[in-house]
Structure 1
Amino acid sequence: MGLFPPDAGLRIAMVAGEASGDMLGARLIDAIRARRPDARFVGIGGPKMQAAGLESLFPQETLAVRGYVEVLRNLRAILAIRRELKAKLLAERPDVFIGVDAPDFNLAVEHSLKAAGIRTIHYVSPSIWAWRGERVHKIKQAVNRVLALFPMEPPIYQAAGVPVSYVGHPLAESMPIVPDRQGAREVLNILPRQAPVFTLMPGSRQGEVDVMAPLFIAAARLIAKEVPDAQFLVPLATRPTFDRFEQLLWRLKAHQLPIRRLFGHAQHAMAAADAVLVASGTATLEVALAKRPMVISYKISPITYRIVKRKLQLPYVGLPNILCGEFIVPELLQDDATPENLAQALLNAWRDADYRAWLDGKLTELHHTLKQDSAARAAQAVLEVAEHG
């Protein structure tokens, strides 16, 4: 029996490796189906893509690992999935394959499929503008088109002769230009309404929560000492990360802190906050679009950090800073990511009204730049490749 049903008019394979890719992939599926109701989707995706209609052949969580050392621990399982997936797709020959982010996994799949004459698209440019810029040549060999989320990306691909479409970022569509802070506090029933609220976002993967949550909880403990009426929100995207955070609270004897765990509700938690402590990644862009002061932090294994640091091409790693071309929000990484530093930086941002007003203007300008009806643009580009090459 084949991967696609017999009535599939357009056969699309997709792979997304983590929660942010799952969100992007789900919106793209919806936008394609609006134009081609006969489209059918198979591959690897999370709950959002599956709800939108993707048949996931393998669990997405297996691919959601971070860093060189962490990938090595899971390498056998990841390579086995990639091998089996490639074999299935080469046998089935979908009309187009879309790799959603996860470049280390997807580019290898795309390279094999394109070499066999199957059209391929990579949705979300790897961060070639930040590090490992030489990857543009590998990408050229692997894909028929790149769908770029950020405006500084297309010129890089055009210079290398890679077909590219700037589609903007879907988050800019889903989040309002002017966030409703009081409305979010009402939805979350925060009382009193004007209480100081700090949102903690330790990551979307279990490995990130294991590393970042103890730091964030320790920072919250310090903030609570200085701001006794402070409240803390922690939105967690999946049941495994929710359970892991709950376990850490008890292990660290922090369950009596005013920390409220939320299953989902990330955008409400950001909008309701006075300031946000966030692990580096796509979530930093969400916080930026919510127009909130933030402190970006991240820790990885020392070996991975040394490798990555040598390859960095920019002085910052957080998306708000990269997109604005300057340090508009603090970054406390690796050895600088101590509870004391995180707490102090978050309190500084919360207390400085002039800084908050300046930051709001910067982030509003960024929001307008990224708002491009991205799902529709991405769907149009996919159909151009699938139907015309």
Structure 2
Amino acid sequence: MGVRIAMVAGEASSDLLASHLIQALKRHLPDAEFFGIGGPKMQAMGFKALWPAEKLSVHGYVDALKNYRELSGIRRTLLKQLLADPPSAFIGVDAPDFSLWLEKRLKDRGIPAIHFVSPSIWAWRRGRLKGIARSVSHMLCLFPFEPELYKTAGVPVSYVGHPLADVFPLDPDRASAREMLQIPDGVPVFAFLPGSRQSEVRNLADTYIATAANLHERHPEARFLVPLTTRETRLLFEQALARHAHLNLPIRILFGHAVDAMTAADVVLVASGTATLEAALLKRPMVITYRIGKWSYRLMRRMAYLPWVGLPNVLAGREVVPELLQDAATPQALADALDSWLTDKEKAAELVRTFTEMHQTLRQDTAARAAAAILPYLRGASR
């Protein structure tokens, strides 16, 4: 029997990451079989999806609770199948709440359990580390500061870099992005990214528009790009714009095209999350902001281990870009911080150098390194 690898990936980003890993593993194991829970990109690589990845795509606690019975049933059914016909190894790609439960039970039965993408234990919930140590045979980390945490807990670990760093060019082509978006040369451009979730856009839209109004007074020729990922978030922002229609601002909503908008921009205003890393890889000066419910924010700050929420600051180990959160995120303060990047060319140039070094550290050919870490667990599996 040949090598059989079970995998679980639940989000679009995980589907992409897992598809690259399958491709890298197939270079060494062309006849390997891949199956489990996955999306269309994995299936395009020959992955057999017993359930589609979208089954795991829940957002927030309420959504998770609503779908708990179905998800729990899928997980138990998959476990039963894997124990009845053990794979050579199991790889959980992100989705820690779903996959770590499976990994522990498979590891206990002698099946190598590899987890790809460390949960954010460095930010909060570090108490999970003991449970993770019991669950995984090997952890694959995207960020260079993560392995040390696992080494101290006795978890075999590999740093594999971040896949976005492999995809994004070291020197982004701003001129082409501006040409594509039909933006004239010499015009100041601000990209505003209020987030991908409806709650984020609802909390930030009015503040972003007021910030744009403040900047427009200072730079009447400036353009504002607002990329949004769904019809729902686009509608929410359009409703906010309608409330401020009297301002007559040059705000252009884009359906997607976040990377194009950031590449074309002089400065980016971004809600915390992966978009902050994208902005850093695109070498864009930025201001990070976030606003959530008062009690949720207090709880988050109490649980946090680090003084920063934005990945650029976490990776640098210091504040290289401003973070204006909650009550500090006033239109005046945000406009001042954004304008500072536009006017202080020396500071902006230094940031580009910092982000270039960061990019080179993260660019590790992630799929190939991940495959190299997994292959030792598959030796002798083919028979």
The partner residue of 2:231 within 243, 246, 249 is 243
**1:140 corresponding residue in structure 2:** 133
The partner residue of 2:25 within 32, 38, 51 is 32
- State the Cα distance separating 1:223 from its structure 2 match: 2.6
For residues 359 and 60 of structure 1, the distance between their equivalents in structure 2, rounded to whole angstroms, comes to 38
- State the Cα distance separating 1:369 from its structure 2 match: 1.2
1:134 is paired with a residue whose SS is helix
Alignment of 1:91-240 (within 5 A): 91-92=81-82, 93-186=86-179, 188-236=180-228
Structure 1 position 357 matched with structure 2 position 349: yes
Structure 2: gaps (5+ residues): none
Amino acid at match of 1:158: K
- State the Cα distance separating 1:305 from its structure 2 match: 2.1
The partner residue of 2:334 within 342, 367, 384 is 342
Query: Contact 1:199–1:232 (CA<8 Å) still a contact in 2?
Result: yes
Query: Contact 1:42–1:57 (CA<8 Å) still a contact in 2?
Result: no
Deviations 1:97-154 (A, max 9, x none): 3222233333223223323443221111122223232322111111111001111121
For residues 69 and 200 of structure 2, the distance between their equivalents in structure 1, rounded to whole angstroms, comes to 22
Per the alignment, do residues 63 and 177 of structure 1 end up closer, same or farther by CA in structure 2, a change over 3 Å counting? same
Amino acid at match of 1:63: S
**1:302 corresponding residue in structure 2:** 294
Q: Which one has the largest radius of gyration? A: 2
For residues 23 and 328 of structure 2, the distance between their equivalents in structure 1, rounded to whole angstroms, comes to 42
- State the Cα distance separating 1:24 from its structure 2 match: 2.5
For residues 43 and 348 of structure 1, the distance between their equivalents in structure 2, rounded to whole angstroms, comes to 50
Per the alignment, do residues 158 and 219 of structure 1 end up closer, same or farther by CA in structure 2, a change over 3 Å counting? same
**2:66 corresponding residue in structure 1:** 76
**2:324 corresponding residue in structure 1:** 332
1:136 is paired with a residue whose SS is helix
**1:90 corresponding residue in structure 2:** 80
TM-score (norm 1): 0.85
Per the alignment, do residues 51 and 257 of structure 1 end up closer, same or farther by CA in structure 2, a change over 3 Å counting? farther
Query: Contact 1:15–1:99 (CA<8 Å) still a contact in 2?
Result: yes
**1:12 corresponding residue in structure 2:** 6
Per the alignment, do residues 37 and 248 of structure 1 end up closer, same or farther by CA in structure 2, a change over 3 Å counting? same
For residues 297 and 61 of structure 1, the distance between their equivalents in structure 2, rounded to whole angstroms, comes to 31
Query: Contact 2:194–2:204 (CA<8 Å) still a contact in 1?
Result: yes
**2:277 corresponding residue in structure 1:** 285
For residues 192 and 2 of structure 2, the distance between their equivalents in structure 1, rounded to whole angstroms, comes to 43
Alignment of 1:47-58 (within 5 A): 48-49=41-42, 51-54=44-47, 55=49, 57-58=51-52
Deviations 1:318-342 (A, max 9, x none): 1110111100001112222333332
Amino acid at match of 1:382: I
Query: Contact 1:13–1:94 (CA<8 Å) still a contact in 2?
Result: no
Per the alignment, do residues 387 and 301 of structure 1 end up closer, same or farther by CA in structure 2, a change over 3 Å counting? farther
Structure 1: gaps (5+ residues): 1-6
For residues 347 and 366 of structure 1, the distance between their equivalents in structure 2, rounded to whole angstroms, comes to 24
Query: Contact 2:9–2:53 (CA<8 Å) still a contact in 1?
Result: no
1:57 is paired with a residue whose SS is strand
2:171 is paired with a residue whose SS is coil
